[in-house]
Structure 1
Amino acid sequence: MTFSDVFASWQREDTALHFDGDPEEKAITFAALSSRTADLATRFASLGLSRGDRIVLAMSDARQFILSLVAALRAGLVVVPAAPPSLTSRGDAFRDSSREICRVSGASLCLTGGFFTGFLADAGLSCPVETFESLTAAEPAGPVLPPDAGDLALIQFTSGSTGSPKGVVVRHGELLAHVRALSAALAVDPETDRGVSWLPFHHDMGLIGKIFVPLLTQTSTWYVPPLSFVRDPAGFLRIMSEIRGTISFAPNFAYGLLAAVAAKKPPTGLDLSAWRIAGCGAEPVSAATLRRFADAYADSGFRPGALRPCYGMAEAVLAVSVAPPADGPRTLVADARRLAEDRTVVPATGDDGVVLTSSGRPIDGTEIRILDPDGRPLEDGREGEITLSGEHLAHGYHEDPDETGRTWRDGRLHTGDLGFLSDGELFVTGRIKDLIIVNGRNHHPHTIEQQVEAVPGVRPGGAVAVSVPRGDSEAVRIVAEARSYPPPAGLAEEVAARVGEQFGLRVADVTVVRKGTVPKTSSGKKQRRLTAGLLESGRLVAVPDDPAPQPPAAQAPVAREPSPVPVIGSSYVVKAGDTITEIAFTAYGDARRHQELALHNKNVEGFNAARLRSGMEIDIPEPDYLPMPSGLGGLRGNVGRSFSIRPVGPAESRVRTADRKEGRQS
């Protein structure tokens, strides 16, 4: 049996998938989904696809993505979910990633939608690009042969938090068995449960947890665009309240963001009492963050027992372990020095303790074993590498035998993560490759980062701790995003002092940067090794403690050109008397087409032929461009992204304005 059989069995008219903000279709019942995807499955042949071909889905529209996903699986195609270009994508990096995913997967087609089509069509992909509309308009080609359990269903590309993205291969039998085990662990009941998700579809948590679980169980689920959550986190909670949502999952940072929203503006009119599973995974889980969230929404009916930390990875298809129902997340306060020196977990007796959060028990069909560096099993309370075995894990990377051999060996999946077991529950402590080893002691970067983010003035989720070689040992370097600009005076010194007091570490340096500077993956994971490389190359620079002074009014105007390759964190300062400044971005990767962009930013005023006021700054956090739609709609929230900036004269500005009125782009 495969998911194709599940899709064909759907008959429910009383449960549906709902698409928040979709102008065309607000909901599709499971019965309708079955008939529509059966029809769409017959149309892929007219686009040149046959059973076993790879199809890349790069879509931001939830309705189009799910219809395409289900239809492609029913047609026996291999689905390759990919991140669509977004308003936060880095242009060159996104094009490179798209080309690599299509090449490595051997894709025969990339299916997308909206204005993304033009951008991807110009990206030099190794396969044709078509739209969802072209699929619906294609001619049906007769019945399709459903896939077998041993056929390939998905190629899930990892997020690249620790290296280049790799394609995890998932067969139909493994996919169905895994989703069944996860649904059982969560006790999903379509009669009473209602899911809400803002997670991106190309990420394993959003794809497996919030698409395939509802598809298997026919559970009503509401989909919120990821950017909507980023722009208005409280909007997600309003939907949870209005529909009495019961299940939702998110990374740790999202709970911190929602807690911060409540701190600024206490919630009113929310009823979260129906929320029974607030899953937390995809990155290290902070008990303090979850506690702040629970406290912030206690008056809205949220119960701490709904918080369910979990652990998983694409190589396991998704879930490895899920915390059982309880009064709240289980935590241990371990002696930090013992954990660092001999990897033994013992209760802390003084102030030198680190709080560790349980990620729960393994789901059915998964066995967890902790191994030492020599491959020997470790008893409870001893930290080592987390390894897995089970009937519904993935079994390799697509066309990468070397990396497959390193990850799947001796009959086990070696995760590269560190952790320990205690009373049958898994505690994840970090990644082997991220360990900071100073004078023979091991330090996990996320525990250091949690202390840094507790310093007033540091943005939550905006700290990164990395190690760099220094003599015979390593030194700790820290990057901290400031909550606001200018940062508080002495912030770097306070961060260094906090780390020294808590961990006995000497910090080599602290680099305070603007918010949004720390490199992260498309799923929000910190890219520590990339950060370390940027620090070493000098491309990550600190912001000053005070803004640049304005020149005297009598001083002659001086227009400072930006660096040809701006360093991360640099700024272009508009001087008194400067002429019009054009903020240009590259549309669809074509450097010849520019549009002026009005940024809704306290640091930038003016648009078109307006003069910018003196002393204003424009952030340049990254030295490349953004793919953008032809219009200005939907550009809010893109402050601090990568734009080329140059002064232009009034005459040139008038020419550009006239060109736009005539329908041309210069």
Structure 2
Amino acid sequence: MGISFSSFFRIGNPDKFQGEGKVFVPDEVRTVADVLARLDRPERGLTFPGGRAVPFTRLRELTADAAARWPGLGARRGDRVVLVVADEYEFAVAFLSALRAGVVAVPVFPPFRAGQRESYRAHLHDVVARTGAVCCVVGEPIRRVLGDGPLAGRPVHGFAGLLAAPPGPVQPPEPEDLAVLQFSSGSTGTPKAVAVSHRALLATLLAIQAGLRIDGSRDRAVSWLPLYHDMGLVGFLLTPLIDQLPTWYLPPLRFARDPVSWLRLITEVRGTLAFAPNFAYGLLTRRAKDADIAALDLSSWRVAGCGAEPVRAATLRAFADRFAPAGLRRNAFLASYGLAEATLAVTLTPCDEGLTTFPDGELVSCGVPVEGATVRVVGPDGQDLPDGTEGEIVVSGPGLADGYFGDPAATARAFRDGRLHTGDLGLLRENRLYVTGRIKDVIVINGVNYHPQDIELAASEVPGVRPGNVAALAVRDEHTEGVRLAVAASRAVDRDRLAEQVRRAVRSRLGLTVGEVVVVGGDLPKTSSGKLRRAHTAELLANGGLVAR
């Protein structure tokens, strides 16, 4: 059965929606593999770190050749392959060629420190075993870290080994075939392998294309987001293929060392589209010097997207104030909501709307559902709640994943009757979604619900607390529930004094009395995409794995 987007994408007149981000999708284009086979713009392309420019026509040729090499590694349509490739160019060729070959790619974050070798090998062993991968393809630096030998009995190849493999016949994928296994962030538990079909992937790309009004002839995207994470992978490697959007990449580690380099690249190429999590905007506000800002020109930046973690109005307002002298427009901000189980995007703020907040100016609207998606907020009984009432966010639409690979129990819990029960809390107001937290994270004290993000925000404003490194954790006994905080200090401080300042800040902001405040050295545990792992933090505190400063 073919893929159908007739209700909102397939258009009788290809010129009807010019300039609105909608594109004509011919009947024969049913998968991203079909999109890759039709790339035809030699004057546009992807530019990788080091200035390596690949025109879209060349990308078509490269991925076709590499697709024919997968059979030489023993990978055919429907087989899973694990990709651990840090180099953006190599990752793009390996991943996109897998799509064309019908091979199911399993992107995995690369190790960040050589000292992680044994634990990382154990992690990869688990991924290979859980996904039933037939092989792994890794970048050469990563191969040196991992050492020689198979993983879970499966061969490990370098990227050069893929390109040198003997070619074989390729069977193109069908829309219902699996395209990719995306691992969820694991912020509330063990990451799960989200099974995304070619149908869901293409539907999501078209929805993002329409929601952001992307026009490949005028727009330019700039990204430092890791390509192994869904926001970088779907948003900035795959979405640009739809209208052949020129895109520039910056290594994530370069951004971590020099955040302003992202803005310099936007200035240099006159970038119009760029996304980042909330923390990145806060980091830039703190790190950028006056001389840095004086050298920037951000007037071309029409979509400054924010997602992947809670969006804070105060963070974005401070960024807007700091970079206004560089030409940044306040209405460029575009808050969004999405998750791996929906392939990526669920809601997007309409372009040029800027920030919308409710009810106290701090809760940020994440926009309206992308085309084809439906968002509901329901109570414990599954019934829709009135506008402005908090409940669980439930999503449906063509971009939903098939479920969790190899985990039917978890699939049955989250995917019910064609709807995804996200486990996220939020409310709707005038069809706009406001995300408030996670059901599993809510802390109930004396019958009052507290979102850990609110507690963490209050604590993080205390001088000496490292931004993004506060975890609010529930403490339960047989009678009641309280809260303890794990706090990472940004410098050598008086631990007892800092703990008391944190208690006062939370009490002043929320009227909540915090029990224990543990001040630790180093960062708190986070996922590969930078989200706090609260449950893991609680485990480490319980067994002495976090060292108090």
Match of 1:6 among 9, 31, 35: 35
Q: In the TM superposition, what whole-angstrom CA distance separates every residue of 1:17-37 from its partner, at most 9, and x where no partner exists?
A: 001226xxx110000111121
1:486 Cα offset (Å): 3.4
1:541 partnered with 2:547: yes
Contact 2:150/2:156 (CA < 8 Å) preserved in 1?
Answer: no
Contact 2:197/2:402 (CA < 8 Å) preserved in 1?
Answer: no
Q: 1:300 to 1:400 in 2, by over 3 A?
A: same
Contact 1:511/1:541 (CA < 8 Å) preserved in 2?
Answer: no
Alignment of 1:78-477 (within 5 A): 78-87=104-113, 90-120=116-146, 121-122=148-149, 124-141=151-168, 143-262=169-288, 267-334=293-360, 355-477=362-484
Q: In the TM superposition, what whole-angstrom CA distance separates every residue of 1:547-586 from its partner, at most 9, and x where no partner exists?
A: xxxxxxxxxxxxxxxxxxxxxxxxxxxxxxxxxxxxxxxx
Q: 1:395 to 1:49 in 2, by over 3 A?
A: closer
1:539 Cα offset (Å): 2.8
Question: Quick one: distance in 1 between partners of 2:353 and 2:376?
Answer: 27
Question: Quick one: distance in 1 between partners of 2:103 and 2:178?
Answer: 8
Question: Quick one: distance in 2 between partners of 1:217 and 1:256?
Answer: 31
1:496 partnered with 2:503: yes
Aligned partner of 1:606 in structure 2 is none
**Higher-helix-fraction structure:** 2
Q: In the TM superposition, what whole-angstrom CA distance separates every residue of 1:398-430 from its partner, at most 9, and x where no partner exists?
A: 011000000011331000000000011000000
- Whichever residue aligns with residue 44 of structure 1, its letter is W
Q: In the TM superposition, what whole-angstrom CA distance separates every residue of 1:302-329 from its partner, at most 9, and x where no partner exists?
A: 1111111100000000000011124531
Q: TM-score, normalised by structure 2?
A: 0.91
Q: Which has the larger radius of gyration?
A: 1
Aligned partner of 1:529 in structure 2 is 535
Q: May I ask how many residue pairs the two structures share in their alignment? A: 519
- Whichever residue aligns with residue 45 of structure 1, its letter is P
Question: Quick one: distance in 2 between partners of 1:470 and 1:293?
Answer: 42
Contact 1:110/1:129 (CA < 8 Å) preserved in 2?
Answer: yes
1:265 Cα offset (Å): 6.3
Where do 4+ consecutive residues of structure 1 move more than 6 Å?
A: none
Contact 1:457/1:488 (CA < 8 Å) preserved in 2?
Answer: no
Q: 1:223 to 1:266 in 2, by over 3 A?
A: closer
Aligned partner of 1:66 in structure 2 is 92
- Whichever residue aligns with residue 125 of structure 1, its letter is A
For CA contacts below 8 A with separation 6 or more, give which structure has more relative contact order.
2
1:122 Cα offset (Å): 4.8
- Whichever residue aligns with residue 307 of structure 2, its letter is G
Contact 2:272/2:301 (CA < 8 Å) preserved in 1?
Answer: yes
1:540 Cα offset (Å): 2.3
Q: Which moved more, 1:415-424 or 1:66-75?
A: 66-75
1:542 Cα offset (Å): 2.5
Question: Quick one: distance in 1 between partners of 2:178 and 2:354?
Answer: 39
Q: In the TM superposition, what whole-angstrom CA distance separates every residue of 1:519-542 from its partner, at most 9, and x where no partner exists?
A: 101100001111112222233232
Question: Quick one: distance in 1 between partners of 2:190 and 2:418?
Answer: 24
Contact 1:263/1:296 (CA < 8 Å) preserved in 2?
Answer: no
Contact 1:196/1:245 (CA < 8 Å) preserved in 2?
Answer: yes
1:288 Cα offset (Å): 0.5
- Whichever residue aligns with residue 302 of structure 1, its letter is L
Contact 2:304/2:333 (CA < 8 Å) preserved in 1?
Answer: yes
Contact 2:125/2:152 (CA < 8 Å) preserved in 1?
Answer: yes
Question: Quick one: distance in 2 between partners of 1:444 and 1:451?
Answer: 12
Find the residue that maps to 2:126 and give its secondary structure. helix
Contact 2:446/2:480 (CA < 8 Å) preserved in 1?
Answer: yes
1:268 Cα offset (Å): 2.1
Question: Quick one: distance in 1 between partners of 2:57 and 2:347?
Answer: 32
Find the residue that maps to 2:403 and give its secondary structure. coil
Q: Which moved more, 1:529-538 or 1:272-281?
A: 529-538
Q: 1:499 to 1:486 in 2, by over 3 A?
A: closer
Aligned partner of 1:583 in structure 2 is none
Contact 1:468/1:532 (CA < 8 Å) preserved in 2?
Answer: no
Find the residue that maps to 2:467 and give its secondary structure. strand
1:397 Cα offset (Å): 0.6
1:35 partnered with 2:41: no
Aligned partner of 2:6 in structure 1 is none
1:168 Cα offset (Å): 0.7
Q: 1:437 to 1:222 in 2, by over 3 A?
A: same
1:262 Cα offset (Å): 2.3
Question: Quick one: distance in 2 between partners of 1:3 and 1:177?
Answer: 10
Find the residue that maps to 1:69 and give its secondary structure. helix
1:277 Cα offset (Å): 0.8
Find the residue that maps to 1:508 and give its secondary structure. coil
- Whichever residue aligns with residue 48 of structure 2, its letter is F
Q: TM-score, normalised by structure 1?
A: 0.76
1:392 Cα offset (Å): 2.1
Q: Which moved more, 1:468-477 or 1:54-63?
A: 468-477
Question: Quick one: distance in 1 between partners of 2:369 and 2:332?
Answer: 18
Question: Quick one: distance in 2 between partners of 1:79 and 1:14?
Answer: 29
User: RMSD over aligned Cα, in angstroms?
Assistant: 1.7
Q: In the TM superposition, what whole-angstrom CA distance separates every residue of 1:83-112 from its partner, at most 9, and x where no partner exists?
A: 122238844442232112111111011111
1:487 Cα offset (Å): 4.9
Q: Which moved more, 1:267-276 or 1:527-536?
A: 527-536
Contact 2:342/2:399 (CA < 8 Å) preserved in 1?
Answer: yes
1:68 Cα offset (Å): 0.9
**Can you give the 5+ residue segments of structure 2 that lack an aligned partner in the other structure?**
1-29
**Can you give the 5+ residue segments of structure 1 that lack an aligned partner in the other structure?**
335-353, 544-666
Q: Which moved more, 1:187-196 or 1:44-53?
A: 44-53
Give the percent of matched residue pairs that are identical in Structure 1 and Structure 2. 48
1:71 Cα offset (Å): 1.1
Alignment of 1:571-586 (within 5 A): none
Find the residue that maps to 2:140 and give its secondary structure. coil
Question: Quick one: distance in 2 between partners of 1:453 and 1:105?
Answer: 39
Question: Quick one: distance in 2 between partners of 1:89 and 1:81?
Answer: 21
- Whichever residue aligns with residue 310 of structure 1, its letter is S
Aligned partner of 1:518 in structure 2 is 524
Question: Quick one: distance in 1 between partners of 2:271 and 2:297?
Answer: 10
Q: 1:326 to 1:473 in 2, by over 3 A?
A: farther
1:139 Cα offset (Å): 2.3
Contact 2:495/2:519 (CA < 8 Å) preserved in 1?
Answer: no
